[in-house]
Structure 1
Amino acid sequence: MDTVFHKISSLTPDPLVIAEAGTILKRGGLVAFPTETVYGLGASAYQEEALRNIYQAKGRPSDNPLILHIAELDTFYELAKTLPESAKIITAAFWPGPLTVIVPRSERVLDVVTGGLDTVAVRFPSSLIAQQVIRAAQVPIAAPSANRSGRPSPTSAAAVKEDLDGKIDMILDGGDCTIGVESTVVDCTTTVPTILRPGGITYEMLTAVLKRVDIDPGLNGDSLAIPKSPGMKYRHYAPVAPVLLFEGAVDKQRQAIEKQAMAYSGQGKKVGLLVCDEWQYSLPPVAVLATFGSLTRPQDIASRIFRVLRSFDHKTVDIILAQGIDEQGIGRAVMNRLRKAAGHQVIKV
């Protein structure tokens, strides 16, 4: 398959390109497009073969649910059997935006979308390109991240091309994504709304509009028989080299990372270090260094984390030692992605 590649403005998307994307989706094709979080791989929510092609292109396990993306609130009511009060509150506060809600599914939602669950995950993105692509398709769009399953999610069209060129119909290049980590997923079918995946809408933001929000224990690596949200059950966001994550006080992390780097280097291994900007000029020169941003700007870290993880694939390192950050605000989402990238191989110091 030849993949069509179009550059498109995020502020004034070319209507002809948008129409072409809509036509591809209507006929059952796959289109990768930018959202404010990461690039999504879109297919019509109402065409089973197209949905199965998403799983095939990504190499995605079939029990990993898909998120349906909408561009009109009326579509939400078509996809949901009922709307819990918590879903009404948080969608009113944070849609359009990087928030996915899980609600009871209506009969319109296909089993292939939900992995056979009786719930559906829905998001209304704020990205203008994403909204226009959805409207051009005239149906909700299932759109997981546009990468090979398990790989770091793509925040640029180049990353999509690296993983999926020749496997999908079209890639729309709308520039780098601004948030850089996937949407927050909140299960609104539980008595207390539960975060299944942290993202751009933080725990602190949710608790400002809801009386209480729980955090699913599966985020800590607990075994899950049935994943209720993308990214819960399987190793995700991982570069080729294994990742070892360090957590704890900043000074203790640094000492532990330096010691481990020297040990691996002494064994003849090529070590990659994924650390903050503040450390870049003071670490021993025994490793390949990549920085993810300043500890004072966690939003910048979120926007860069997947790009930096991917960069190690081009440096052919044997192992990556990663620094953990504070879990306040969007730092919780960054740490969730790093723990998943490490397969929960964590050293606490």
Structure 2
Amino acid sequence: MSTIFDCRDEAQLLAGMRHARQAIGRGELIVMPTDTVYGVAADAFSPTAVQRLLDAKGRGRNQPPPVLIGSKDTLAALAESVPEPVQRLVDAFWPGGLTIVLPAQPSLVWDLGETLGTVAVRMPEGHVALELLAETGPLAVSSANLTGQDAAISALDAEKMLGDSVAVYLADGMSKNGISSTIVDATSLVRRGDEEQGVVRILRHGVVTRAQLHEVLGDLLESDEAQESHEDHPHEPDAEEQQDGNP
């Protein structure tokens, strides 16, 4: 049977973190608070655990989860490269509500689903999330809800939907704003040659606004009109899932 730990209580925080670490180590799922919405998390380097996460949500491999990290420096270990404009985004918005998609480091041994060689990465705010990530390393994390339902803004909301498919629930009150992270695709900054300038494309509007992104990127931020001509992206939610998918 699953256990909910109220991390606002110091004793429950310590016990909850211990049980969460152990669950992750066994390839089980946990629910954790983030600065956006609650997330359901698994060991990013365990294909079995990642598949368990997808199954719990009712998602297919064509909807791969993003990866949460506890340090800005970890991005360089997960991505093929970190272009200077992406570093500007990291410096401006991490920790915080911006998920960045880049080509994944080819040497990584993991299976997040049909990612087309990319990885979506975010460093969240919040002491519970950051302390856990510091101990577990990168976690595959999706919003803590069943696909098609609203993202959970409390551990109780998540428990009602996910039940015993999750081993440990870490509660930290209501989500700060209940709005998911903004997702941007920066892969073209890496994959295009010197003769053609890449741009950053918004895949999902969320906590970080277009105006904030433009302030950092300027003309490197793709226009809304240009985005309409793109094909579907593995990290882009469909119309029914704009607030369901990635915390």
* Fold conserved between structures, TM > 0.5: yes
Change (3 A) 1:69 1:216: farther
Q: Which residue of 2 aligns with 1:209?
A: 216
Distance 1:58 1:219, change over 3 A: farther
Q: 1:206 to 1:11 in 2, by over 3 A?
A: farther
Deviation at 1:227, TM superposition (A): 2.7
SS in structure 2 of the partner of residue 42 of structure 1: strand
Query: Contact 1:58–1:149 at 8 Å: present in 2 too?
Result: yes
User: Alpha carbon RMSD of aligned pairs, Å?
Assistant: 2.4
* Distance (whole Å) between structure 1 residues aligned to residue 230 and residue 55 of structure 2: 25
Normalised by the length of structure 2, the TM-score is: 0.86
Matched letter for residue 222 of structure 2: D
**How many Å apart are 1:131 and its aligned residue?**
0.8
Tell me which amino acid in the other structure corresponds to 2:157: A
Selected match of 2:234 from 209, 228, 234 = 228
Superposed counterparts of 1:129-278, under 5 Å: 129-137=128-136, 139-190=137-188, 191-212=198-219, 213-214=221-222, 224=231, 226-231=232-237, 233=238, 235-236=240-241
In the other structure, the counterpart of 2:122 is: 123
TM-fit CA distance, 1:145 = 0.2
Relative CO higher for 1 or 2, CA cutoff 8 Å, sep ≥ 6?
A: 2
TM-score of the superposed pair, with normalisation by structure 1: 0.62
Aligned length: 234
Structure 2: which 5+ runs fail to align?
189-197
Partner of 1:79: 78
1:129 offset after TM fit, Å? 0.9
- Three-state SS of the structure 2 residue aligned to 1:102 is strand
Percent identical pairs in the alignment equals 29
State the distance in 2 between where 1:47 and 1:234 align. 30
Match of 1:21 in 2: 20
Contact 1:78 1:108 (8 Å CA) reproduced = no
Question: Measured at CA, do residues 229 and 12 of structure 1 come closer, stay the same or move farther in structure 2, by a change above 3 Å?
Answer: farther
Q: Distance in 2 between matches of 1:114 and 1:21?
A: 24
Deviation string 1:244-266 (CA, Å, 9 cap, x unpaired) is: xxxxxxxxxxxxxxxxxxxxxxx
CA apart distance, 1:72 = 1.4
Give structure 1 stretches of 5+ with no counterpart: 237-335, 341-349
How far apart are the structure 2 equivalents of 1:178 and 1:22?
24
Whole-Å Cα distance in 1 between the matches of residues 224 and 9 of structure 2?
Answer: 34
SS of 2:165's equivalent?
coil
Larger Rg belongs to: 1
